[in-house]
Amino acid sequence: MSGHQEYSFFGAVEKSFDKAAKFTNWDPGILEQIKQCNSVYRMHFPVKIGDQIEVIKAYRVQHSHHKTPCKGGIRFATSVNLDEVMALAALMTYKCAIVNVPFGGAKGGITIDPKKYTPYELEKITRRYTHELIKKNFIGPGTDVPAPDYGTGEREMAWILDTYMSQKPGEVDALGCVTGKPVTQGGVRGRREATGLGVFYGIREVCNMPDVMQRLGLTPGIEGKTVVVQGLGNVGYHAAKFFRQGGAKVIAIAEYEGAIMNPDGLNEDEVFQHRKKTGSILNFPGATNIAKSTDALELDCEILIPAALENVINGENAPRIKAKIIGEAANGPLTPEADDVFAAKGTLVVPDMYLNAGGVTVSYFEWLKNLSHVRYGRLEKRFTENQNKNIIQQIEGLTGKKVNDEEKVKIEHGPDEVDLVYSGLEETMISATREIMECWKNNPSIPDMRTAAYVVAINKVATSYAELGIFP
């Protein structure tokens, strides 16, 4: 490390919180309570790996209990430490508040490199971690509901579910103890692409605001806009896909081994398949290689989507970034110093804590599905289709004109689970975007959209505390 002190992610979240708290009228004691992490659980447990016993270090942090259960992902990464888990738990509280998902924030992590273990060893680690959570009541459909995050996915969530259910036989809502599960194990359709789709809905809504676009010197709408995506994991891949399908041009994709660029646009799936085959996104047919992955962030584009890890855009490289809109698909990709640079430059930063809330929004839908014990659309799909058929017949009878077959199929279609999930997510992201922009407009001294988002979040959490009568 050079002379400056080490970057604290939790410190950065606190800094953003304090910046926003000035624009609210709450008692300092309430603000202090919202800032703190309520419960922190640090654990070490032994797991037999091969013929060695390895001591695994893991965490679960519950940041806020103003609403229950708590909700937040589980990371498997060597970088996992207490500071990071606390920061991510705090962001979850604010994120859920902004998108009106009635959960408190939490986060978990295991300090391992998942690539170094066999699936069987990972299963042992995951199940043992779940046992530790059950022991201290840090998991359960009404207390704390984990989800996938960096380094985990549907497979790990299925292991968590199975471990929980074996410990709590006959618990009727046990399926709701974890989200992001495979659909066959009580998961919900649309969960996998939810975060990337939410990023798209949020940015699209911002681009549909003529006054915001005018300020940035851009034309309204997403059509034809150039996009650079950093990270081709679950979030980056789906964000790129929906931007492309929405008519934008993804001109560059960056991964840790380097980046590729094609001004005519890239197809994320072809790039993904190429990477699967060759082990790298480099040398993709028709694209130019960029040796240093971070250089892609500085390319000339209208929309930049950092969808990898935190702290990639800082005070040092922010001045060289040319994008007009930065959509934070990852958690904490910008440092507070970068925020100041962009506020001065007039670059619009669409903040992570609401932009990547698609994951927790659809997790909420999954949790509701588990508690109601019925698949979305099961009760109304046929009813809607029959009703639409009747309407078409009536119209045809009255006008004497026939509706063509293609239109008929479109109009008659009753909603499947995935249609309802997409529609619920779209509604959530559009109303959250408007609420944040409204708050910013009504208070011109708020410096940026992130601060406006924090103000919205603080007001909602504080109102909960006040209404619960915790503070007489």
C-beta neighbour count of 262 within 10 angstroms:
18
CB of 348 within 8 A of CB of 325? Answer: yes
In three-state form (DSSP H/G/I as H, E/B as E, the rest C), the secondary structure along 17-74 is HHHHHCCCCCCHHHHHHHHCCCEEEEEEEEEEECCEEEEEEEEEEECCCCCCCEEEEE
CB of 453 within 8 A of CB of 351? Answer: yes
> Which of these, 48, 45, 70, lies nearest to 59 by C-alpha position?
45
- Rounded CA-CA distance 114/105 in Å is 25
Whether the bond into 69 is cis, omega within 30 of 0? yes
Q: Is 107 in the active site? A: yes
State the angle between helix axes of 358-372 and 82-98 in degrees (0 to 180), rounded to the nearest 10. 70
> Which of these, 58, 33, 55, lies nearest to 139 by C-alpha position?
58
- Rounded CA-CA distance 307/243 in Å is 14
Angle at 200 between CA 380 and CA 149, to 5 degrees: 85
C-beta neighbour count of 221 within 10 angstroms:
15
In three-state form (DSSP H/G/I as H, E/B as E, the rest C), the secondary structure along 187-232 is CCCCCCCHHHHHHHHHHHHHHCCHHHHHHHCCCCCCCCCEEEEECC
> Which of these, 194, 188, 190, lies nearest to 176 by C-alpha position?
188
Query: In the β-sheet with 104-110, what is the strand arrangement from edge to edge?
Result: 39-49, 52-62, 104-110, 70-76, 144-148
Give the list of residues 6+ apart from residue 442 with CB closer than 8 angstroms, or none: none
What single-letter amino acid sits at 287? Answer: A
- Output phi, psi for 451, to 5 deg: -65, -40
Out of 67, 71, 107, 249, the active site residue is: 107
Q: How many helices (H) and strands (E) does the chain have?
A: 16, 12
Q: Which residues are catalytic, by number?
A: 107
